[in-house]
Structure 1
Amino acid sequence: MLTGLSWLALEVTSLERARTFYEETLDLAVTTQRDDELVFAAGETELILRRPTAFPRGGLHTHYAFSIPHAEYDDWWARLSEAYELEEAQFGPVSSLYLDDPDGNCVELGQQDVSGPGIDGIFEVVLEVESLERATAFYTDLGFETVDTGSDRQRVRLHGPMALELWEPHLGIADARGGVHVDLGFETEEPAAALEAISDRVRAVERETDDSVVVRDPDGHFLTFTGAQC
C-alpha cells in the first residue's frame, strides 16, 4: 500500500548548528531553506529539520538509520571517530555505527545495498508507542509486515517502505529512544485507500485532498500519504 518513504522530519533548536552537523559532518546537501526549516537530500528521502513554530513539529530524540554502501563503512568510522565517541553493532554480515546529532537524535549509519557515494537513503525509523499491540495492528493495516519481536517484549520490527521499529519507552543501542511526535511522509498510489484502512483508529484527520491525506496515528505521530504525482 505504501511504496516509499518521502520524508522524515526532526525538531531542532538551532538550524545553523544542525545544518553544520548534517552538511559538514554527514555530507548531506541542502535542497530547500525556509525561515524555520531546512530540507536535505538523503537519497530519495528528504530529511527535514524544523524549528518548533507550528504543527506538525518534527520528532524529538528520534532514532533513525541512514544507508551507506558496504565499502564505505570503514572510511566513515575512521572519519567520525576523530570527533565523536561512536558505538557499533553487528547485524549478521553488516555493521552499523551510532552517534548523536546536536539535538539528541540517535543517528545510525548502516551498511546497505546502495550505490552511494555517501548517505543514500533512510532505511529505519523508530517510533515510541504506548501499546505495541495497538501500534502494530495500525501499521500492519497500512501494509507493514512484522519481521521481529524483541526478546524484552518492548519492541516490534516491521518491514514496509523502510524498516519501522515500534518501541515502548526504553533505551536501545547507544541509548537510543523512540521518537515522539515524529512527522513521516509516505508515497502511495492511493492516499484515500491508506486512510480507509486506518480511519477508525487515527487520532485525527488533519487534511484530506484528492492527492494527499494527513493524519495523526494513535500515538500522535503525523503521517502524510501522498500520491506519486505530488
Structure 2
Amino acid sequence: MLTGLSWLALEVKYLERARSFYEETLNLTLAQERDTELVFEAGETALVLRRPAAFPRGGLHTHFAFSIPDAAYDDWWDRLSEAYDLEEAQFGSARSLYLYDPDGNCVEIGQQDVAGPGIDGIFEVVLEVESLERATSFYADLGFETVDTGADRKRVRMQGPMALELWEPQLGIADARGGVHVDLGFRLDEPKVALDAVADRVRAIEQETDETVVVRDPDGHFLTFTTGQY
C-alpha cells in the first residue's frame, strides 16, 4: 500500500544551530529554506527541521536512523568520534553508531545496502505509543508487517517502506526514546485507500483530497498519505 517514506519532520528550537549539525556535521544537502523550517535531502526522503509555530509540529526526542553504504562506516566513525561520544551496536553483520543532535533527537547512522555517497535514506523511525496492541493493529492495516517483538514486550518492530518501531515509554540503545507528535509523510498511488483502511481509528482527519490525506493516528502522530514529495 505505502510505497515510500516521503519525509520525517523534527521540531527544533534554533534553526541555525540545527542547520549546522545536519549540513556541516552530517553533510546533508539543504533543499528548501523557509522562515520556520529547513528541508534537507536524505536520499529519497526529506528531513524537515521545523520551529514550533503551528500544527503539525515536528517530533520531539525522536529516534531515527540514516542509511550509509557498508564501506563508509569506518570513515563516519573516525570523523564523528573526534567530537562526539558515540555508541555502537551490531545487528547481524551490520553496525550502527549513535549520537544526539542539538535538540535531543537520537540519530543512528547504520550500514545498509545503499549506493551513497554519504547518507542515502532513512531506514528506521521510532514512535512512542500508549498501547502496543492498538498501534500494531493500526499500522498493520497500513501494510506494515511485524518482524520482531521485544523481549520485554514493550516494543514492536514492523517493516514497511522503512522499519517502524513502536515503543511504550522507555529508554533504548544510547538512551534513545520514541518520538512524540511525530510528522511522517508516506507516498502511495491512492491516498484515500490508506484512509479507508484506518478511518475508523484515527484521532482526526485533518485534510482529505485525491492527492493528499492527513490524519492523526491514535497516539497523535501526524501521518500524511500523498502522491507527491514534501
Same-fold call, TM > 0.5?
yes
Q: Which amino acid aligns with 2:170?
A: H
> Pairwise mapping of residues 73-222 of structure 1 onto structure 2 (< 5 A)?
73-222=73-222
Change in CA separation of 1:87 and 1:53 when aligned onto 2, cut-off 3 Å? same
Q: Which amino acid aligns with 2:118?
A: G
Preserved contact between residue 6 and residue 229 of structure 2 (Cα < 8 Å): no
Preserved contact between residue 128 and residue 178 of structure 1 (Cα < 8 Å): yes
- Normalised by the length of structure 1, the TM-score is 0.99
Q: Which amino acid aligns with 2:215?
A: V
- Normalised by the length of structure 2, the TM-score is 0.99
Structure 2 unmatched runs, 5+: none
Aligned to 1:34: 34
Change in CA separation of 1:229 and 1:58 when aligned onto 2, cut-off 3 Å? closer
Preserved contact between residue 136 and residue 156 of structure 1 (Cα < 8 Å): yes
For residue 189 of structure 1, report the CA deviation from its aligned partner. 1.1
Identity percentage of aligned residues: 80
The whole-number CA distance in structure 2 between the counterparts of 1:154 and 1:102 is 28
Preserved contact between residue 62 and residue 106 of structure 2 (Cα < 8 Å): yes
Q: Which amino acid aligns with 1:125?
A: V
Q: Which runs of 4+ in 1 moved over 4 A?
A: none
The whole-number CA distance in structure 2 between the counterparts of 1:212 and 1:21 is 31
For residue 63 of structure 1, report the CA deviation from its aligned partner. 0.1
Preserved contact between residue 106 and residue 176 of structure 2 (Cα < 8 Å): yes
Q: Which amino acid aligns with 1:142?
A: L
The whole-number CA distance in structure 2 between the counterparts of 1:207 and 1:193 is 14
For residue 228 of structure 1, report the CA deviation from its aligned partner. 4.8
Structure 1 unmatched runs, 5+: none
The whole-number CA distance in structure 1 between the counterparts of 2:116 and 2:9 is 22
For residue 59 of structure 1, report the CA deviation from its aligned partner. 0.1
Secondary structure, in 3 states, of the residue corresponding to 2:77?
helix
Q: Which amino acid aligns with 1:86?
A: L
Secondary structure, in 3 states, of the residue corresponding to 2:151?
coil
The whole-number CA distance in structure 2 between the counterparts of 1:66 and 1:84 is 17
The whole-number CA distance in structure 2 between the counterparts of 1:134 and 1:15 is 35
For residue 227 of structure 1, report the CA deviation from its aligned partner. 1.6
Preserved contact between residue 187 and residue 229 of structure 2 (Cα < 8 Å): no
Preserved contact between residue 189 and residue 228 of structure 1 (Cα < 8 Å): no
Aligned to 1:5: 5
For residue 139 of structure 1, report the CA deviation from its aligned partner. 0.1
Change in CA separation of 1:56 and 1:229 when aligned onto 2, cut-off 3 Å? closer
Preserved contact between residue 180 and residue 221 of structure 2 (Cα < 8 Å): yes
Q: Which amino acid aligns with 2:157?
A: R
Secondary structure, in 3 states, of the residue corresponding to 1:195?
helix
Preserved contact between residue 190 and residue 210 of structure 2 (Cα < 8 Å): no
Q: Any idea what the Cα deviations from partners look like across 1:21-72, whole Å, max 9, x if unmatched?
A: 0000000010000000000000000000000000000000000000000000
Aligned positions, number: 230
